[in-house]
Amino acid sequence: MFKAPAIFEPMDRRIRLRLNDDVVADSDRAMMLISPGRHPVYYLPKADFAAGALLPSAAAPDRIWSLHAGRVTLEGVAAAFEGDAHGLAPMADHLTVAWDAVRWFEEDEEILRHPRNPYVRVDCIHSSRRVQVVLDGQVVADTRRAVFLFETGHVTRHYMPIEDVRPGILRPSALRTYCPYKGEAGYRSVELAGRVHDNVVWSYDGPYDECLKIKGLVAFYNEKVDAVLVDGKPASGRFPPRI
């Protein structure tokens, strides 16, 4: 099976890193490492870090750096790009920072969880095909008003109006997750005959503009139900290879 190579390419986006209230890096020359099956990683030129923000480590002064701003020093959170493991040339003058150590911004918008891969598409398409969800041997949702969400590297998801889910089976959940492509999702559990299936259903109440078609609709995890049927046939449960 073909496996896409790792690539390292320039990004025409202003990338800024904040440590507390301080901007510790500001670059319009960022590079993105895109590796198959992994989240993208931003690397910034060392010269685009603020003066005094980088402190070389004693153990590996050319490879590992600490990040400093105000009275805060984060030990060993910045690392130089080592390309040999990716089949790419090393770039000692480019650094990445541990994702959770700082806040990341593309232009003026904060990005959460990980950068968006420029080779990933998310397409939301209305469909009148009949979608049914089967759980514990029962049809718990039945719709011809679905929005099919096609996302590179993921199984197709089927979003539907909550009115097309059997009434009285959904239970609230405190779980929240975040997708860099779609936004923040809230979850619901399903209760059938006293048995609760946790966090089987999710929805986006305020998705990003690119995914407004799924606003307020609900989707079931293909992996957590007996079956998702499209026109009576099982929907594909295969995860395509990630770019």
Q: What is the mean pLDDT of the chain?
A: 91
User: Is residue 11 a contact partner of residue 32, using CB atoms and an 8 Å limit?
Assistant: yes
Contacts with 106 (C-beta within 8 Å, 6 or more apart), sequence order:
13, 14, 15, 115
SS3 230: strand
Q: CATH classification of 122-234 is 3.30.420.40, yes or no?
A: no
For residue 121, name the pLDDT band (cuts at 50, 70, 90): very high
For residue 24, name the pLDDT band (cuts at 50, 70, 90): very high
Specify which of 28-37, 57-66, 160-169 reaches the highest per-range mean pLDDT: 160-169
φ and ψ of 20, to 5 deg: 55, -120
Domains 7-111 and 122-234 share a fold: yes
Domain boundaries of the chain, sorted by first residue:
7-111, 122-234
**For the purposes of burial, counting CB atoms within 10 Å of the CB of 79, is it exposed (0-12), middle (13-18) or buried (19 or more)?**
middle
Whole-model pTM: value is 0.82
How confident is the model over 41-64, as a mean pLDDT?
91
Superfamily of domain 7-111: Domain of unknown function (DUF427) (2.170.150.40)
pLDDT at position 191: 98
Question: Whole-angstrom Cα distance, residue 80 to residue 45?
Answer: 10
Q: Which two tokens stand for residue 176?
A: 């929240």
How confident is the model over 115-143, as a mean pLDDT?
96
Q: Beta-carbon neighbour count of residue 229 at 10 Å? A: 18
Tokens 């049809």 belong to residue: 139
pLDDT at position 242: 46
For residue 43, name the pLDDT band (cuts at 50, 70, 90): very high
Instruction: Convert 24-62 to b/e letters by CB count within 10 Å (16 or more is b).
Output: bbebeebbbbbbeeeebbbbbebebbbeebbbeeeeeee
For residue 105, name the pLDDT band (cuts at 50, 70, 90): very high
Concatenating the DSSP letter of every residue in 16-73 gives EEEETTEEEEEES--EEEE-TTS--EEEEEGGGBPTT-EEE-SS-TTTEEEEEETTEE
Contacts with 166 (C-beta within 8 Å, 6 or more apart), sequence order:
138, 139, 140, 141
User: Is residue 181 a contact partner of residue 156, using CB atoms and an 8 Å limit?
Assistant: no
- Per residue in 193-212, pLDDT (tens digit) is 999 999 999 999 999 999 99
